[in-house]
Amino acid sequence: MDRRDMEATTTGRMAVLLQHLTPTTSSIVSSLHPLPCLGFTPAEFNSDPPSFDLLSMRKLLDGHNIEERDAVFKLMESSDLFILKHIGGDIFLGADYNQPMEAQRSITMDRIHFLLRKGVFRGWLTNDDLQFAFERSAVHESLGTFDHSLGIKLGVHFHLWGGAVKYLGTERHHRKWLQATEDYVVKGCFAMTELGHGSNVRGIETVTTYDTSTQEFVVNTPCESAQKYWIGGAANDATHAVVFSQLHINGRKEGVHAFIVQIRDGKGQVCQGVKIADCGHKIGLNGVDNGRIWFDNVRVPRENLLNSVADVTANGEYVSSIKDPEQRFGAFMAPLTFGRVTIATSAVYMAKIGLATAIRYALTRRAFSPSPDVPEVLLLDYPSHQHRLIPLLAKTYAASFAANQLKKIYVNRTPADAKTIHVLSSGYKAMFSWHNVKTLQECREACGGQGLKSENRIGQLKAEYDVQLTFEGDNNVLMQQVSKALIGEYFAAKKKGKPLIAFGLKHVNIVNAPAQTSHSSSVLQSKDFQIALFQLRERDLLHRLVANISGQMSQGSSVADALLKNYHLAEDLGYAFSERCVLETFIAVEEEKTHSSIKSLLEWLRALYILSSIDENPVFLRYGYITPKQAQAIQSEITRLCMELRPQALALVDAFGLPRGLLGPIAFDWIKYNSWEHVENRGKDEKSSATFLASL
């Protein structure tokens, strides 16, 4: 190519470029003129009117304190601290996850100080009224629904630090620390996890000794694996920590105990003997300042031992009313189960946000048409799309009812409820957090490319809540803990020669209960068939696990080793127990005196939840709990139930009671929100183009 040809080619390319960049009014108007095919039709036009009272259903789902929840949402809408963006007169709430880590941490504390000034936290540690406990829970759930980092920062300060002081401490600690914590004069953190130990709390390596000459405890980090790790609030803000440590008294190891340790002074300077480092950037929860802590001969007063379970006298004598170390450790850990209760509940609310957004989008977005002369088909009118979302909706309803029941048990707990709370909270925390992540992933995919946008929340929520699978206990370990508790009760009953009663396991005493082999629609949908099938699964898995463990123990294995070798059965049993409890709670809600229109929908939702669970879980066919014909019939029944529920899908997500601002923009007029009129910085872009053209 000679020089003349190159110049001609360059001139041609510049002409094309100028044609694209020159703001010709006529071309812009014609290219952006809304054509009929691009019109937006609200989800309400593509759905049946609600066949039930939305408020009544919401009361069943939220369980309590709807007014307080709505008041918190309105409070957040009143402050720019909580508003992510304004689009076309609409407000969208949320955290800006595109901000640098330090900015996210800073605004999280700004939000806490705003809420503190508004009196939101008044009584959170000092009001012991049972009804107030539900109100506090409702407010905390609502704040966590806005942003996981905000919920976790509050949870660490009030429930972990404050809860440890309140329930592991005694009156001397309550007087000194609770009001100061409530007023944020003291900012607390919870230093349990270490680099080398997470779920295995018994194995932590931090060591505390007692100096009788000064009546002080001396806390030390003896090795790098003993550094406290992932401690929320430690990197920037916390002034004090509840430090879990091995207590050594007069050369005797007394096990894990908790101590109040100051880690920063009133000016925010790290205290002598304490070293703190940042855990750094994470895939989510960057509004929480997770830190690492080392202790080098840090001295704390004798009174800083949280002594509800055990104490050390001034002359160094270890005293406890519970002589057995195992029972003492159990009593020591029992008050800390609330973390799993809150995770189970918050996971359900995140699934609600994902489903409300994805289902609304699926009721307005169309794709493909059977022929050129008919409109494209709504996403939610595709059976495959219904199968992706509506069973998850049914499971979210089931999880809501179960989480509410768990909260009631916890708030009204007595010492006799400790085992039940431990087992239920372990199973539900694992089950519901798994369900949440699965639901958010499916909703993200169901929204296509729009699911990738941070402003639409779903994808970001998946990253924010992924941590729930491992903190407060790895889910797989928790399911094994559930099975361990069930086996313990089984062996204890056998040893006493009495029937098994605990944890709703009376059905385990049934011998050779026949399986129902009918595959008719009426049988598959009946609660009697469903509860019998779930009991059969749980009963058989328990017997299989007991037989395996007993056989291996006869060959010299310990119970612990045998349980580890049968981890797959243990996890299946833990899940079977949890699902059976969820089903029983669902049936109890269904049988309450609710309106017939709600009852009929709940029957469909319960049937869809159960049949979907059976369809997805291989143990039902693996061990012959259902026949192949039943498996085929169940799949057909799922498809039919999805079609039956499709007209009410919008009403079912509206019954969640979530404010519009908490959903992603694609839940509403996504064409308007993506129009040129609402492009941010468009004036800047136009100016940049004009400057470039002027320079040519």
List the catalytic residues: 472
The CA R_g of the chain, rounded to the nearest whole Å, is: 29
Q: How many helices (H) and strands (E) does the chain have?
A: 26, 15
Burial group, residue 238, by CB count within 10 angstroms (0-12, 13-18, 19+):
buried
DSSP 3-state assignment of 207?
A: strand
Sequence length of the chain is 696
Instruction: Report how far apart, in Å, the C-alpha atoms of 521 and of each of 365, 597, 625 are.
Output: 32, 21, 17
**Rounded CA gap, 625 and 277, in Å?**
53
469 to each of 47, 245, 341, 480, 675, how far by Cα in Å?
35, 25, 14, 14, 38
Mapped onto helix, strand or coil, the DSSP state of residue 433 is: helix
Q: Give the span between the Cα atoms of 544 and 483, in whole angstroms.
A: 12
Asked if residue 108 belongs to a known ligand binding site, the reply is: no
Residues 163, 166, 169, 171, Cα dihedral to 10° = 170
Q: Is 232 annotated as a binding residue?
A: yes
Distance separating alpha carbons of residues 565 and 452, to the nearest angstrom: 41
Residue whose token pair is 């950037």: 281
Whether residue 461 contacts residue 486, with contact meaning beta carbons closer than 8 Å, is answered with: no
Give the whole-angstrom CA distance, residue 261 versus residue 242. 6
Six-digit token pair at 263? 């880690």
Give dist(CA 195, CA 375) in Å, integer: 58
Residue 35 corresponds to which amino acid? L
Distance, in Å, from the CA atom of 344 to the CA atom of 313, rounded to the nearest integer, reads 40
Instruction: Give phi and psi for 270, each to the nearest 5.
Output: -65, 135
Residue 457: name the closest of 154, 146, 676, 87 by CA: 146
Measured CA to CA, the distance from residue 469 to residue 461 in angstroms comes to 13
Torsion of CA 401, 407, 413, 416, to 10 degrees: 60
Query: Look-up: residue for tokens 């057909």?
Result: 636
Are 435 and 395 contacting, i.e. CB atoms less than 8 angstroms apart? yes
The stretches of 317-382 forming alpha helices (DSSP H) are 325-333, 338-362
Which letter does DSSP use for residue 275 in this model? E
Which residues partner with 194 through β-bridges?
Answer: 228
Question: Angle CA(667)–CA(673)–CA(677) in degrees, nearest 5?
Answer: 175
Find, among 479, 435, 696, the residue nearest to 569 by Cα. 479
- Residues annotated within a binding site for FAD: 193, 232
- Residues annotated within a binding site: 193, 232
